[in-house]
Amino acid sequence: MLRSILPLGVALLGATSVLAVDPPSCSLDKKCPKEAPCCSQYNQCGVGAFCLGGCDPRMSFSLDSCMPAPVCKDKTYKMDSLDRYRDISEYLGDSSKVDWVGQGEPLLYNGNTLLTMPPKSVGTVLATTTYMWYGSVKAKIKTSRGAGVVTAFILFSDVKDEIDYEWVGVDLNTAQTNYYFQGITDYTQTGNLTVKDTYNTFHDYEIQWTPDEIKWLIDGKVGRVKKRADTWNATANQWNFPQTPSRVQISIWPGGLETNAKGTVDWAGGPIDWKGEEIQKYGYYFATFGEIKVECWKTDKAPGTSKGISYYYNDISALNNTVVDSNKGTILKSFLGTGTDVNKGDTTQSGSASSTSAVHAIPGGGVAPGGVVPGAGNNQNQGNNNNNGGSGGGSGGSGSTGNNNCGTSNFAQECNPGGGGDGAQGSTNGNTNNSARGADRTLGSSALAVIIGIAGLLLL
């Protein structure tokens, strides 16, 4: 799955918003500078959104540069509305108002959420605003299909612990599972589970995660178990087992992007065909997500508690005994803020984004033009979307500055000329009436693959 993280990561960086000066990079050996102290999920330094979900304290200027992460909440996400979804350029950390953040083009269709990937884009990724510190998550999913097209459902922590499901579009009868500890690339932990027709049939995919084991289930049946006891690393004197608070992430991304590494392209089933059947019929590749249910681990004593408001780390080792279940706040007052100065910048209402010219405040660069995108509904108008800026740009075509005259016919996008390039629907600065609310395109699954894929796309 790590091979998918990079494509996902890059997508979140925003493929159409390229900074004139790239943000500083960060790693375990090269931490962020004081003026841009937060290391994002995609290993770039900044302030604002860089300091929220995905901010890695190990690579940041200091452990407290990242904002604390909202604690686990039992919740059922119906996935029949995008009212509580925000692009990363519109979210300042208030999880009481927002359930999902991300980039790409999520759309509504028949009471479910579609994650879409128009031509030459990097797909769509959504992540929960709250974090699971053990527990279970179950998602009803119909995957994408096609060579090079990848669907993902993962748990991913700020220090890059990961537990995942991934599906490649050329094999609709296999669910791939894997796990990673702190981003260490190890593809030997993969386990394939047999499942029937993942594209046409909804299946329930579940991850049950405790301090002692991981279980992967399909339609209520256990398909794989991994014991923590089997992950001891004698050299490092630690368990190489996912153990830190993680967001639920769902995504579609182009594993077969021509700029990806050959190994990734081969794994994804070959080069992606931007003129494939799905593109011809609907205007995009897509994966369908129905109800997603999160149940937190129930314990009175750490690890795994969710008694407070937020989680933070008190040691760079970032193991489960360094996670603190605290009452620290999670909300920035503006995109100038950081974990050590949450009040920096102009203040609007708590938890709402305020426009800022800060450099490296939003991964991908600044507050992009509005991201309302037309999409496929079921011929019923869901209401007007009045976005006048603030949504991150799409990942595959240039945005438009006028109204997008787009509608839907059954399941296909229909737009008059003037939208995004290369077949993708661009951002709009005007009002758009469409039968599904859009956002922006990201891709993702394993964080590592994502970043590389997007970086390559930016060079196209």
Distance of CA 214 to the CA centre of its chain: 21
Dihedral angle sign, alpha carbons of residues 92, 95, 96, 102: positive
> Measuring CA to CA, how many Å separate 389 from each of 91, 386, 400?
13, 9, 12
Reduced to 3 states (helix: H, G, I; strand: E, B; else coil), residue 227 is strand
Beta bridge mates, 165: 153, 177
DSSP designation for 22: P
Q: Are residues 368 and 18 in contact, defined by beta-carbon separation less than 8 angstroms?
A: no
Q: Are residues 415 and 105 in contact, defined by beta-carbon separation less than 8 angstroms?
A: no
The yes-or-no answer on residue 166 being catalytic is: yes
Query: For residues 116 and 371, what is the distance between their CA atoms, to the nearest angstrom?
Result: 14
DSSP designation for 57: T
Q: Are residues 89 and 362 in contact, defined by beta-carbon separation less than 8 angstroms?
A: yes
- Tell me the Cα Rg of the chain: 20
Q: Could you identify the residue written with the tokens 């999409």?
A: 375
Q: Which of 386, 285, 336 is nearest to 47 (CA)?
A: 336
Catalytic annotation, pick one of 90, 105, 166, 278: 166
Dihedral angle sign, alpha carbons of residues 282, 287, 290, 294: negative
Rounded to the nearest 5 percent, the helix, strand and coil shares of the chain are 10, 30, 55
Q: Which of 358, 254, 360, 343 is nearest to 26 (CA)?
A: 360
Backbone angles phi, psi at 128, to 5 degrees: -65, 150
Catalytic annotation, pick one of 35, 90, 105, 162: 162
**Strand ranges inside 255-372, DSSP E:** 285-296, 310-313, 323-326
Reduced to 3 states (helix: H, G, I; strand: E, B; else coil), residue 334 is coil
The yes-or-no answer on residue 291 being catalytic is: no
Q: Are residues 345 and 335 in contact, defined by beta-carbon separation less than 8 angstroms?
A: yes
For the annotated catalytic residues, the residue numbers are 162, 166
